[in-house]
Structures are given as C-alpha cells and as structure tokens.
Amino acid sequence: MDRREAARMIAGLLLGAPLLKRVEGWLAVEEPRPARRRAAGIGYQEVEQIEHAAQVFRAWDNQFGGGLRRKAEVGQLAEVADELRDFSHPPELTRRLHGVMAQLACIAATMSWDSDQGAAAQRYYLVALRAAAAAGDRAFAANVLAGMARQQFYLGHVAEGLELVRVAQDRVDGHATPAIRAMLYTREAWAYALQGRLAAFRRVTSRAEDCLRDMQPSSEPYWITYFNEAELSGVTGGRLLEVAHRSPSHAEEAATWLRRAVGLRRAEALRSAALDQIGFAEIRLVQGELDEAARLGHDALDTVAQTQSSRVRVKLAELYRYAETRDSAPPMAELCERIRLVLRSA
C-alpha cells in the first residue's frame, strides 16, 4: 500500500494503550441485566438455523474473502443484534444468541479487513469479543483476540499485537483445544519474527507443531478447523519470507515451509492457497530462480482469479514490485504483464 492507502486503513483504528484498555474493559464487564422487553421472538430451532448460517458464512470467507457476501453476513449479524436488544429469552437461549453473534461479528471483521476496511474490522472484532465474553466462551474470545493481534502486526504495532496474544493465552488457559493452542503459538511466533527473535520464533513454532500432533479434528470447534498443517506451514513460511528479504540465508527454510503449504492446501481454502502460492513465487525470486518464480507466479494467478480477496491482491502487488526489478528477463516480463492486467481489473 502507498501512504494514502495506509492512512485510509488506519483512520478510526484504536492503537496502543487505548485498544488494550478497551479490550480489558470489554472482557471484564458482565452482561447487564436485560431491560423490560417483549417475549422471545425466536426459539431454539431458529437459533440452530442461524448457527448453521454462521458456518456457511465462515466457509465463504475462508474460500473467497469478502466482497458481496459481506453484505449478507452483516445483515444476519444485525438481525441477531436486534433480537438480543428487543426481546427477552431464557438464559440458555440468550447465551447461544450471544455465541452466534460473536461468530457472525468475527466473520464480519475478517471480511471487512479482507475488503480493506480496517477500522470497520476492528469495530466488529470488539463486538465479537464482547459477545463471546457474554456467552462465556473463553476459547472463542481468544480466537477474536488472535484476529485483532494479526491486524496489529500488519499495521506494524508488534508490541500491542503480542500483548493481545498473551491476553488470549492467559484467558483461554485450561479451555483451549490443541488446534487453538497451536494457532495462538503461531501468532506469538509471528511477533517474534517481526522482532527478529528467530530463536524464540522457532521455539514457539515447534510448540505449535507439537499441539497439532495431539489434535483430534472431531473434538475441535468448527471455527478452528481451518488451522491445520497447511495453515501452520503457510503462516510459518510467510514469516520466514519476510525475514529472508532482510537476510537471504533464510530463503531456503522459507521455501521449504511454503512448498509444504502449497502441497497441503485444500480446495475450500482458496484465499490462503493464493497467498501461499504468491509467497512461494516470491521466495524463488529472492533466491534468483527466475524461471521457477515465473512458473509459480502463473500458477498463483490462476488461483487469484478465483477469489475476491483484497489481501490477496495486496500480496500480488508486492510480488509485482519484486518481479518488476527483473523484468528484463523474458519470463519475468511476461509474468509482470499478466499481474498488471489482474491488478487493473481489480
């Protein structure tokens, strides 16, 4: 992003101490006693249908990103919020409504972030955090905090992101499945990579690998099932790719992780697959393997065409900037021309 785009993304975002204070406050405050309201408008069957819809929206987000689907998802979130505001419900039904509201708000956050709406994403994350706390779902609250931390990392606020990860780890202690613990370890490792603490990065990544070996998919909540060996490999390779730009001696280690991620990605994770493939092409550029980088870049573009993710196109623009410096080589010139066409169409 150029400076103008970065400023637009940051506008309205809470950063540093104000964000951490808001997070701590929303986690600590108990749900207020409901005001006098009408009798419940929906029952358990309708809540089950909304819970199923949340799973569908999450699958859409994992596969395609934001785009038009975001409007439908936000509309469903508004309906649940209205239901909680306007009607009284039995305690169990209220808890489930808060739980599905947390799910929907978190999906709205990731879709918004994926559509280059950073401030809106943060607001949805805070709504999700508050709803998860009201539902008593410590594990999902930790997942929301991890999403907020990732956003801080992308904005360059590493210390704040790491603090959010540690809050998540503290709150979820004793309530986390192996996949949730692994995901939180990779967020912690991300911070260490950004800080240049590679020994700590590798140590915590190894803990994430150990957790995944203990994972039983049938015992994991559906919203964390995306975190598997492919996700661990892609996130780890992506962080090492950033390190390799500063220190090329780490390039082959990054390539090993990214190759593994590309090979393991499932068809329903198109956005992540595109990011992995772009990263794999980029690391080959760092290594000076231009023919291989061009081949991988064309493969990545085939996947990019299937997703509407703004994040994917930002990553593609990064690949273009690196490829453009080598476009005197015919394979790079052809790749750059194709990337230009894709970015212009977006």
- What's the CATH number where 163 sits? 1.25.40
Together in a domain, 216 and 256: no
Q: Is residue 286 part of a domain?
A: yes
Judge contact between 262 and 281, C-beta under 8 A. no
| pLDDT-derived band at 69, boundaries 50, 70, 90 | confident
| pLDDT-derived band at 2, boundaries 50, 70, 90 | very low
Identify the domain boundary among 227, 256, 275.
227
Look-up of token digits 């039904």: 93
Together in a domain, 189 and 305: no
Predicted confidence (pLDDT) per residue in 158-186, tens digit: 999 999 999 999 989 888 999 999 999 99
C-alpha 145/C-alpha 166 separation (Å) is 9
Q: What is the mean pLDDT of residues 289-313?
A: 93
| pLDDT-derived band at 8, boundaries 50, 70, 90 | very low
Together in a domain, 188 and 250: no
Domain that holds residue 72: 1-136
CA proximity to 124, closest of 78, 86, 156 = 78
Q: Is residue 328 part of a domain?
A: yes
Q: Is residue 233 part of a domain?
A: no
Identify the domain boundary among 87, 114, 136.
136
Together in a domain, 30 and 111: yes
98/59: higher pLDDT = 98
Together in a domain, 116 and 27: yes
Together in a domain, 270 and 314: yes
Query: Would you state the pLDDT for residue 295?
Result: 97
Together in a domain, 53 and 89: yes
Together in a domain, 217 and 284: no
Residue 193 clears pLDDT 50, i.e. is over it = yes
Query: Would you state the pLDDT for residue 14?
Result: 65
Together in a domain, 81 and 181: no
Total domains in the chain come to: 3
Q: Is residue 292 part of a domain?
A: yes
Predicted confidence (pLDDT) per residue in 87-122, tens digit: 888 899 999 999 999 999 999 999 998 888 888 999
C-alpha 110/C-alpha 124 separation (Å) is 9
Q: Is residue 15 part of a domain?
A: yes
Query: Would you state the pLDDT for residue 6?
Result: 37
Q: Is residue 240 part of a domain?
A: no
CA proximity to 238, closest of 290, 201, 293, 289 = 201
- The number of residues making up the chain comes to 346
Together in a domain, 166 and 42: no
Predicted confidence (pLDDT) per residue in 209-241, tens digit: 999 999 998 899 999 988 999 999 999 999 999
Q: Please state the pTM of the whole predicted model.
A: 0.87
Predicted confidence (pLDDT) per residue in 252-290, tens digit: 999 999 999 999 998 778 899 999 999 999 999 999 999
Together in a domain, 259 and 199: no
Identify the domain boundary among 102, 136, 170.
136
Q: Is residue 320 part of a domain?
A: yes
Q: Is residue 304 part of a domain?
A: yes
Token pair of 272, please?
């992540």
Together in a domain, 195 and 271: no
